[in-house]
Structure 1
């Protein structure tokens, strides 16, 4: 008696999914919203090709890629080096694979420098078919309110009213309103939080109100961030704080700083000047000036350069101040 073949990939009790009986080349047939069938084959993307060979379209996948921080991916990072429980789902587009489902697994694989298992099809799939297929098979983690809103924004930009969006997506109009508000919060503010999934609707609402108030009074979100960035770094580096506590601390800093900016007249703006161009966006050498205050900032520079800078600064200070 032969052993029963183990199904490769996801199985669903009430989704249009069938498994092909192919023991040598693992494959699955997905029945699309239009009734068309698409055969997906199993492919493993090598670690050094994951970032270049695969990509994600927010309007289709629905996951906010800026929110895929190491903190938010902690559960997958812990296991993906050893095993990938479910393959990602993708479609070939211009020689690369667009990930319909599995962008968290993709981001974790890039972070851990490991390969990625993908079920991929060469079938021609329309944007609407891809979007609906992605919604049908996404079961790893529920999208947060902002991610839902960012998907709905694409529909709103396409000319649909909020009522039509609600009917199209099977959502209440209140849910659509909340999601669109969450998606309207400036991304720079959202980026201050290590784990975006901790944010709730009241949090998004408070952030949007702070941003709107700053805009009304001629202040900028950039000024707010510049004023509290060091304090946020301190909060994030504190040990023993739960993720919701980190979120609440950062919210409090944003709320207090925004209220202070709104009440006070605008101060001298901070001007940042690059001292050297780098191909890597994470490396920089720059000077910041605000009024009579200035500072120099360096990131990802060699120890030798740091020691040389210390030496030059020390000699310069002695030259001008040792009197």
Structure 2
């Protein structure tokens, strides 16, 4: 009789076998880069040749070695990825790269049209599990994807080993070769630092290497909804004054349930510049009728001889309040017990 396959002492049909297999697979993946390096040396096999044969990655002979912020030396090799590989096997982590991919479009990427003929600078990436995290070159990646295969390949300098998140962030910051991040993107990074425990703007400013004033403006920009930014052809054209104007628009529309409907009436497009769109938004918040506060309905529950005593019910929208005045302690206790009994019956409180 054939024996059952066992993983760490467990057969396939025993409880926990699947979890053990997953843990073993994860451990194998962690040690894979170093094991691959050793095996290639022993077998005298070139890494470029191996990547082409096993993963379909066309590699060139170019490679560089950089010293990361931690002091670790890392070798990067130049590889060429197809459209399908870039689409399915690469991604951009905002926490590392800092570029909001949803705000990239044909218009604000038009300065990269030379990629149609030649990619002068490779993107920089590292492997995270089975995908490539693009540390630098996310705009070039976005432009390449917009062309949907019209450009033959996308060149990436790919790290051979593992890179820690802190090294990846530092490398992405030092390699930034495209447009400076806009105020909204900086604000989103400020929010990440705040969520990580940096509570004061001074701490965040120091961590990002910018002024406290810029942190304040950036966090205001980050509070503005993306639906407003999507009205503009290129968010990078917005000035500090423009962001201030958008902050006012955001406050005026923040709690409106008809926000999407209102913004759909704002004309935008390639022929509309920043000033025209801002003027339309200003006009919108000036003319849109303010939502009326829900009317307050007051009902007297008891008619007391003493005018200073009262028991009434107030209804405002979906909020209901019961108010009592000048009741004795025993009367209040009796009402409390009645309310608690009703709540227990309705909601099962104990």
| TM superposition score normalised by structure 2 | 0.62
Alpha-carbon deviations, 1:106-126, whole Å to 9, x = none? 011111222210001132222
Structure possessing the higher radius of gyration over alpha carbons = 2
Query: Aligned partners of 1:206 and 1:265: how far apart in 2?
Result: 24
Q: 1:130 Cα shift?
A: 0.8
Residue 40 of structure 1: how far off its partner (Å): 0.8
Q: Which has the higher contact order (CA 8 A, sep 6+)?
A: 1
1:92 to 1:237, Cα distance in 2 relative to 1, 3 A? closer
Is 1:59–1:150's contact at 8 Å kept on the other side of the alignment?
Answer: no
Q: Note the aligned Cα RMSD (angstroms).
A: 2.1
Q: CA offsets, 1:134-183, max 9 Å, x none? A: 00000222111111111221111111122111111221111111111111
Q: 2:221, 2:253 → 1: CA distance?
A: 17
Q: 1:88 aligns with which of 123, 126, 131?
A: 123
Structure 1 residue 200 displacement after superposition: 1.6
- Which of 197, 217, 231 lines up with 1:192 in the alignment? 231
Q: Is the 8 A contact 2:96 2:172 kept in 1?
A: yes
- 1:45 pairs with one of 70, 75, 81: 81
Name the TM-score, length of structure 1 as normaliser. Answer: 0.67
Of residues 183, 187, 191 in structure 2, which corresponds to 1:145? 183
Deviations 1:250-309 (A, max 9, x none): 11111111222254769xxxxxxxxxxxxxxxxxxxxxxxxxxxxxxxxxxxxxxxxxxx
**Deviation per CA, 1:190-239, whole angstroms, max 9, x where unpaired?**
111111111122212211221112235x45531321232xx22xxx254x
For this pair of structures, how many residues does the alignment match? 232
Mapping of 1:156-175 within 5 angstroms? 156-161=194-199, 162-175=201-214
Query: Aligned partners of 1:219 and 1:260: how far apart in 2?
Result: 17
How far apart, in 1, do the equivalents of 2:215 and 2:246 lie?
18
Q: How does 1:151-230 map to 2 (within 5 A)?
A: 151-161=189-199, 162-215=201-254, 218=256, 220-228=258-266
Name 1:100's counterpart in structure 2. 135
Q: CA deviation at 1:33?
A: 1.2
Matched residue, 1:298: none
Runs (5+) with no aligned partner, structure 2: 1-47, 49-59, 294-350
Given that 1:149 and 1:179 are in contact with CA atoms closer than 8 Å, whether structure 2 keeps it comes out as yes
- Hey, which bits of structure 1, 4+ residues long, moved more than 6 A? none
CA distance in 1, matches of 2:254, 2:227: 14
Q: Distance in 1 between matches of 2:281 and 2:262?
A: 7
**Counterpart in the other structure of 1:61:** 97
Worse-superposed segment, 219-228 or 169-178: 219-228
* Contact 2:233 2:270 (C-alpha < 8 Å) held by counterparts: no
Structure 1 gap segments, 5+ residues each? 1-21, 239-244, 267-323
